[in-house]
Amino acid sequence: MRGLAPRTVLTVLSVLTVLTVLTALTVLYASDLVTSFRLEHPKCLTQCTVAIANYNYTWIYIGINENGVVIYLFNDTSKPADLVIAGYTRFSYSYIEVDYIIVTLNLANGSRVDVEFSSDTVTSKYVNLDGVKVNYITIRAIAKISERDQPPPLSDPWGWLEYIKELFYSLIEFLRYGVYLLVLAISYLAQLIQIFMLSIVFSLIAVLVSNPLKLPAYISFLIDLGRKMIDILLRLVDIAMKIFHAIIDIIGHIIPF
């Protein structure tokens, strides 16, 4: 093991331990084994559900490791309606990284039991179901997108699903704040226009009262000021459109389809 990172050594030992436990269980309870289910990752990376209500079993063993999930049903009267879950090691598949796994047992009486695994090492948990049968077993991985500078390779469809979803949520969040700022800017602009119009009215009245001969020159000044304000507004709209097109162009380069 010299030269390997501690995490790598821990992962290898975890997997070997799980395989050893599974092998021992298979040997010890081979005569009581009813059936087994093997669910491989990444097919079972997000969520898998197994129906076991049609089997005559008395206890369940669930093993989870980096290769997937294995479920054994045993018919041993010395362990009535018991459950053993063991062997979760944190893993990642390409662009997806699993934080923890939740095993949900949907019981025949309508209730359910959740067992959570969130450890980097091999763990084992024992649950007494109090004689209640399990109808469905759901294995659910709580995953997140990996923190990487580059997008996943094209051969990784699962990673691309997570990556595109993350980009979509980021874009939605950006648009949400953008719309909020736009509405806020429009409201402020409307208030400024109202103040500006009132100031024009009052200034016109003031010019008429003080010196009516200066009214044509003052109107010309207001027209020039209005043109300059419209020109500034058009420049701001042009800058906003360039920023928007730049964002679309960046997204287009990130997703090489």
Are 86 and 32 within one domain? yes
Checking if the pLDDT of 137 tops 90, the result is yes
| Same-domain status, 33 and 140 | yes
- Find the domain containing 68 and state its range: 6-145
For residues 208 and 215, the answer to whether their CB atoms sit within 8 Å is yes
Q: Are residues 70 and 98 in the same domain?
A: yes
pLDDT value, residue 51? 92
- At residue 234, the pLDDT reads 82
Domain identity same for 10 and 93: yes
Beta-carbon contacts of 15 under 8 Å, excluding residues fewer than 6 positions away, are 65, 66, 67, 89
Q: Give the closest residue to 134 by CA, choosing from 151, 112, 162.
A: 112
Domain final position from 88, 121, 145: 145
Whether residue 185 sits in one domain with residue 130: no
Same-domain pairing of 97 and 218: no
The last residue of one of the domains, among 112, 145, 178, is 145
Q: Are residue 97 and residue 167 in the same domain, yes or no?
A: no
Question: What is the pTM for the complete model shown?
Answer: 0.51
Given this model, what pLDDT does residue 114 score? Answer: 92
Q: pLDDT tens-digit profile of 147-163?
A: 665 677 777 777 777 77
**Same-domain status, 90 and 50:** yes
Q: Which of 111-120, 135-144, 154-163, 191-200 has the lowest mean pLDDT?
A: 154-163
Q: Cα-atom radius of gyration of the chain, to the nearest Å? A: 33
- Tens digit of pLDDT for each residue in 23-73? 555 444 667 888 888 888 766 667 888 999 888 888 899 988 877 889 999
Distance CA 130, CA 211 (A): 98
In this structure, the answer to whether residues 99 and 30 fall within a common structural domain is yes
Q: Is residue 231 part of a domain?
A: yes
In a domain, 151, yes or no: no
**Residue 150 belongs to a domain:** no
| Residue 152 domain flag | no
pLDDT of residue 187 exceeding 70: yes
68 and 124 within one domain: yes
Q: Where are the alpha helices (DSSP H) in the chain?
A: 6-28, 157-210, 215-254
For residue 205, tell me if it sits in a domain: yes
Sign of CA dihedral 169, 173, 178, 180: positive
What integer best gives the mean pLDDT of the chain?
A: 76
18 vs 197, residue with greater confidence: 197
141 and 163 inside one domain: no
Domain count, the chain: 2
Residue 256: pLDDT over 70: no
Sheet with 82-86, edge to edge strand ranges: 33-40, 68-74, 59-65, 82-86, 124-128
Q: Looking at the domain assignment, is residue 239 inside a domain? A: yes
- Whether 17 and 119 have beta carbons less than 8 Å apart is answered as no
